[in-house]
Amino acid sequence: MAVEGLSSPARFEAWFARLLAGDAVPLAPGLARAVAVHANNAMAAATAALASNFPVLLALMGEAAFADLAQRHARRCPPADPRLCLYGRGLDETLVQALPAGDWPWLPDMARLEQAVVGALFAADPPRRPRRLDPARCWPLAPATRWVWSAAPIASLWQAHQPGAAWPDEFPAAGELALISRRDGQCLITALPAAALPLLEALKRRTPLAQLPADGLPHLPAIAAAGALVPAVGDG
């Protein structure tokens, strides 16, 4: 027999989500313990997924602080997709709310960078057939391409925390534009200057090559070498 008010799957799912969040009362008192166990398991899965998807942020914050952040985010934005490998959207906003004003201002940027890495890892593959370059046509970005600008050297920080990476003697003093791309199944982070941002935005708008901003063209080879553009061949 269907329970009154929960006759549709959508209504049941909405009620069950409120139940796990503690905002609804079990229909039967005997279910309270079972719901508590399920809620704890769901919280543990969500926080473990965040730790897996944001390893650099975890390393920068430390396990205890990150665990507090992960639980706060799981309560604010519980997973809406069973694919927990994609979970974490909005973690930067949770981090802004959790941090005292002015403390570690670049941590939300790192959260945005690692969220972009997750998106790049599971983005579609670029077309296999190379695109013939023509000044009257655009050179499209690869589906995995993303970027994040920060006043801090987040690209260098991310690179330094990768397995086997050497820790630099010092980090750049200026901010970095972190270009995220995927090549041979691996995500790459390329540090670019802020001057490359107008070029990336123009490429995103599918601007014809002949109309790309001239002051950004010196950065085009680095963007292409990172695999951030679809495969292409020239007339020569």
Is the pLDDT confidence value at 119 over 50? yes
| pLDDT at res. 34 | 58
Asked which of 54, 89, 104 is the last residue of a domain, the reply is: 104
What does the pLDDT average to over 49-59?
A: 96
| Residue 115 included in any domain | no
What mean pLDDT comes out for the span 188-211?
96
Checking if the pLDDT of 82 tops 60, the result is yes
Question: Per the structure, how many domains does the chain have?
Answer: 2
Q: What is the pLDDT of residue 43?
A: 79
Q: What is the dihedral of CA 159, 164, 169, 175, to 10 degrees?
A: 0
- Which residue would you say has higher pLDDT here, 48 or 103? 48
Residue 143 has pLDDT above 60, yes or no: yes
Q: What average pLDDT score do residues 184-200 get?
A: 94
Quote the pLDDT of residue 107: 94
**DSSP 3-state of 151:** coil
In a domain, 110, yes or no: no
Say yes or no to pLDDT of 165 above 80: yes
The mean pLDDT of the chain is 86
The per-residue pLDDT for 236 is: 43
Sign of torsion over alpha carbons 221, 148, 65, 20: negative
Does residue 176 have a pLDDT over 80?
yes
Domain residues for the domain of 219 are 131-233
- Whether 125 is covered by a domain: the verdict is no
pLDDT in the model for residue 154: 95
- Residue 118 placed within a domain: no
pTM for this entry? 0.83
Query: What's the confidence (pLDDT) of residue 233?
Result: 84
Enumerate residues 6+ apart whose C-beta is below 8 A from 106. 150, 151, 152, 154
Confirm whether 192 is domain-assigned: yes
* Same domain membership, residue 100 and residue 56: yes
Residues 99 and 151 in one domain: no
Alpha helices in the chain (DSSP H): 9-20, 31-53, 55-61, 63-76, 91-98, 107-121, 154-160, 197-204, 220-225
Q: Looking at the domain assignment, is residue 116 inside a domain? A: no
Q: Amino acid identity, residue 113?
A: L
pLDDT at 15: 54
Q: What is the mean pLDDT of residues 180-208?
A: 95
Q: Is residue 37 part of a domain?
A: yes
In the predicted structure, residue 1 carries a pLDDT above the cut 50:
no
User: Among residues 60, 87, 104, which one ends one of the domains?
Assistant: 104
